[in-house]
Amino acid sequence: MIDRRTALAGVTAMFGTSLFAPIARAAGLAPAAALAPPVISEGLPSVAVFTPTQRALMTALSERVIPTTDTPGAIAAGVPAYIEKLLADWALPGDRVPIVAGLDAIEARSQQDYKVSAAKATPAQQDALLTLAMNGQIPGGAPFFEAFRQLVIAGYYTSEIGMTQEREYLPVPGEYNGAFPYSQVNKVYSA
């Protein structure tokens, strides 16, 4: 099994040059800066990044990006803890700004539109709020959405669940068959 750092390097290919800076640093692809983050320890984040309200919203929204279907979703894969650890220990203070500001803007919009905390909104309401953010219809929404989506995808597909249950790991997936019916493909192979 590959380790998370190697998997992160592979995930960077999905995002190209617009990779969120903390992910690039964690994958070892960002140039060393004068304010390089320290070596990451195991365990809890070194600093608190989110308030309890922001943490609950970040958790709920991560499950909306990769929901539980026939495979576990973002929460089961530990994506919320991954995001907080990455932002606490790999991100520079400025890297956290679009995420924290976006969560606050989504919370304010939920209170305005639905009169309920965004973390307690229905899945349809949370999807609507994410769509507004994605389309830039919430202040700071577009930068938040792109960075947040990258964090969720990287966290999910570098987790054990993402690598072994969502995808199927086969070092040599089998013989080549150019006429293999797509309807018979069960899982996407990752190597």
List, for residues 63-114, the tens digit of each pLDDT value. 999 999 989 999 999 999 999 998 988 888 888 999 999 999 999 999 999 9
- Average pLDDT of the residues in 143-168: 88
Number of domains in the chain: 1
Q: Which residue has the higher pLDDT, 105 or 162?
A: 105
Backbone angles phi, psi at 190, to 5 degrees: -125, 145
The reply to whether 56 falls in a domain is: yes
Could you tell me which of 95, 116, 99 has the C-alpha nearest to residue 107?
116
The reply to whether 47 falls in a domain is: yes
Q: Which residue has the higher pLDDT, 5 or 82?
A: 82
Residue 52: how many other CB atoms lie within 10 Å: 9
The reply to whether 49 falls in a domain is: yes
Q: Which residue has the higher pLDDT, 169 or 78?
A: 78
- Domain extent, residue 62, equals 42-170+181-190
Question: What is each CA distance from 129 to 50, 83, 112, 143, 151, in whole angstroms?
Answer: 19, 20, 11, 14, 18
The overall pTM is greater than 0.75 = no
